Amino acid sequence: VAFAAACLALVAIVRQLPPAPAGPRRPPQVPAATAFPPSWSLPGLAFCILWLGATELVRLYWFEPSQIIAGARWRAVWPQPFNGAGSRVLHVSDAVRNQLQCDAGNAVRWSDQPGTEWVGYFFEWRQGLRAYFARAQHSPEICLPATGRRLLKDLGFFDHQSPGRLIRVHHLLFEDESGPLNVFFIMDGSSVRDNNEQLHAGSATSRLRNVWERHKGADRRSLELIAAGYPVPQLARAEAQRWLAEIIRPESEPAPL
């Protein structure tokens, strides 16, 4: 708000300044009242420049990374059967990374039961503005329709007990030419303290809270599981809960060999 106000003031001041001569010819006579810029123009211009500099310094101090209170950090560790038959690491292209503005990402496809298939995506955003807007850039409602999938039903949320706290998981039902797709999506960050804050992370109230509590620069991470071959959503959810318990690990825990 302060930055926008200063920019508007700068525009107003510049509009009050006299225009530059169009050429070498002698300019026409103008009334004395408009021959010189208003007496407040130069002081006002200096004030706006100082105001912009001061607001930037305050912003840098307020959102200093050391001020961020880190929550329970976790990462996705792809367990068995990913290291055996029936699993395949998927390539995440640079185009996808650039579109999501993420700092890291990986994907795996696997199947441990005949007729079913799972795809998992894990993306991370380091501290900064890109992480702040990650939820608006990446979600199943945005990405899957762009690949030809159609949203059938929003099946709500359920809680998963992760290391340190509960994580809220969004369950969505899509379809494509192969049949129904059950999608389980998590968007989380180190500034999120509980599953209720995670649910409302994209709301205006949550954004104001993040600013007040100096969390705007916190990181973000997302985990998405896509399940095919399950005719009943309840069966897919039960399997997703089993996989989430294996995949989500504390960041400090070493990856399995």
Asked whether residue 182 falls in the same domain as residue 213, the answer is: yes
Indicate which CATH number applies to the domain containing 229.
3.40.1000
pLDDT per residue over 96-150, tens digit each? 888 888 888 999 999 888 889 999 999 988 776 666 666 566 789 888 998 889 9
Does 257 map to a domain?
Answer: no
| Exposure string for 207-216, b = 16+ CB within 10 A, e = fewer | eeebeeebbb
Residue 38, token pair as written in the block? 């208003």
Asked whether residue 117 falls in the same domain as residue 194, the answer is: yes
Asked whether residue 39 falls in the same domain as residue 95, the answer is: no
| Exposure string for 184-203, b = 16+ CB within 10 A, e = fewer | bbbbbbbbbeebebbeebee
Tell me which residue range forms the domain holding 48.
Answer: 2-20+35-62
Asked whether residue 8 falls in the same domain as residue 121, the answer is: no
Tokens 């400090």 sit on residue: 252
User: Torsion angle, CA of 184/185/190/193, rounded to 10 degrees?
Assistant: -70
pLDDT per residue over 2-61, tens digit each? 556 656 666 666 666 566 555 555 555 555 545 555 566 677 777 778 877 887 677 666
